[in-house]
Amino acid sequence: MGIKIGGQIEKVNGRELSYSEFAERYLAKNQPVVLTGLMDDWGACKDWVSSNGQPNLHFFSTHFGKSKVQVADCGAREFTDQKRVEMSVLEFVNHWLQGSVEDLDGNGNGKSVLYLKDWHFVKEYPEYLAYKTPVFFTDDWLNFYLDNYRMHDDPDTNQENNDICCSDYRFVYMGAKGSWTPLHADVFRSYSWSANVCGKKKWLFLPPLQCHLLFDRNMKSSVYNIFDDISETKFSGFKKAIWMECIQEQNEIIFVPSGWYHQVHNLEDTISINHNWFNAYNLSWVWDLLLRDYKEAKEYIEDIKDICDNFEGLCQRNLAANTGMNFNDFFIFISRFSLANVVELYYIHNESKSKSSNRHWSDMVQH
């Protein structure tokens, strides 16, 4: 039985939209939208795409071949996600090219489709200006914070502050036709935006009010692939879900609101740029998730409460391990951010008095 599609995602010309219109219609209402016309001057659209519209894989192997990246095997599930392996960009590109040769020969069946995900490209190549974050997505507290601090400092391991992995949420994704991302809601319940430098994606979205339909009766496990044969006994609500669909073309940017579950399929060989972020509009989503995950972490170890020296400490440690931050991290984040805003306001106030040209941090968005 297929899924029910109830509507399509709206497409809007980003050049005819002001920031306040975007904030009012999409950020504040937590609604998805596809924006066109915002990628014309991106270096990535020139360097990463061949004249036939296909990914310029040669450019990646010659310029970034040595980078170590996370690659998902789209045919192998591991817990709630796809199995991942680490390899160099060169190895990934070679695998991709071999796959296409086998497909041409009609022998491609035995090969797994690999999908390069979560490549911290900007962090690794800050000098190479691949793109400019569109103004709609620049009020980004998460990446601004992570450029300066870690979200969670584990006292047991002495991590370096310039570690490339887990250092920001600005990514490049690359995958051949047929690669895909299983059903999920985004990290921290952040917003995300995703820009197709080349290729085409199919997105399936479920609004937050229907998300309970994706879970089993204990609200513990959720559906992995909405196109699988889903057990009616286990996921009894699933068939009632009404999905929204979107075909995202080359040079289009999709805005994914907080808490919307989505599954994504590359309909063609695709390269995309993708950020996760939050700000005042969706911070409450982050806190709600933290509270829910905290209760779950606490329940999970309730039976050892009486024999535990520091039960609360253990709950917070598990919360950070599962969710990526705990209450203390959230508190420090908010405090630092509030202080930074007070300083910012002080400068804006002085600037408007003196008309001097101090630089605003949110201007620094060229990647």
**Where does this chain bind ligand AKG (CB under 6 A)?**
173, 181, 186, 192, 194, 201, 256, 262, 264, 272, 274
The C-alpha atoms of residue 236 and residue 192 are separated, in whole angstroms, by: 29
Give me the residue whose beta carbon is nearest to ligand AKG: 181
Tell me whether residue 173 or residue 330 sits nearer to ligand AKG (CB atom).
173
Closest CB to ligand AKG among residues 181, 222:
181
- Helix, strand, coil shares, percent, the chain, to 5: 40, 25, 35
Closer Cβ to ligand AKG, 56 or 248, answer by number: 248
Contact residues for 149 (Cβ-Cβ < 8 A; gap 6+): 161, 336
Min. distance of Cβ 56 from ligand AKG in angstroms?
19
Residues in the chain: 367
d(CA 90, CA 283): 39
**CB-wise, 246 or 297, nearer to ligand AKG?**
246
Q: How far is the CB of 181 from ligand AKG (least distance, A)?
A: 3
- Separation CA 203–CA 217 (nearest Å): 26
Q: Which is nearer to ligand AKG, 146 or 185 (CB)?
A: 185
Least distance (Å) between residue 114 CB and ligand AKG: 13
* Closer to ligand AKG by Cβ: residue 195 or 315: 195
Q: Which of residues 118 and 293 has its CB atom nearest to ligand AKG in the complex?
A: 118
Read out DSSP for 246-304? EEEPTTEEEEE-TT-EEEEEESSSEEEEEEEE--TTTHHHHHHHHHHHHHHHHHHTGGG
From 331, 290, 78, 297, select the one nearest 190 (Cα to Cα). 290
Q: How far is the CB of 131 from ligand AKG (least distance, A)?
A: 15
Of 14 and 297, the one with the shorter C-beta distance to ligand AKG is 14
Quote the least distance from Cβ 254 to ligand AKG, whole Å.
8
Give DSSP secondary structure letters for 147-171: TTS-S---TTS---TT-STTS-SEE
What's the closest the beta carbon of residue 127 comes to ligand AKG, in angstroms? Answer: 25
Q: Among candidates 142, 263, 259, 291, which has minimal Cα distance to 189?
A: 259
Least Å from the CB of residue 236 to ligand AKG? 26
**Shortest distance (Å) from residue 201 CB to ligand AKG:** 6
Residues 321-358: b if buried by 16+ CB within 10 A, e if exposed: eebebbbebbebbeeebeeeeeeeeeeeeeeeeeeeee
Residues 82/72, Cβ–Cβ less than 8 Å: yes
- Residue 222 tokens read as 């959720």
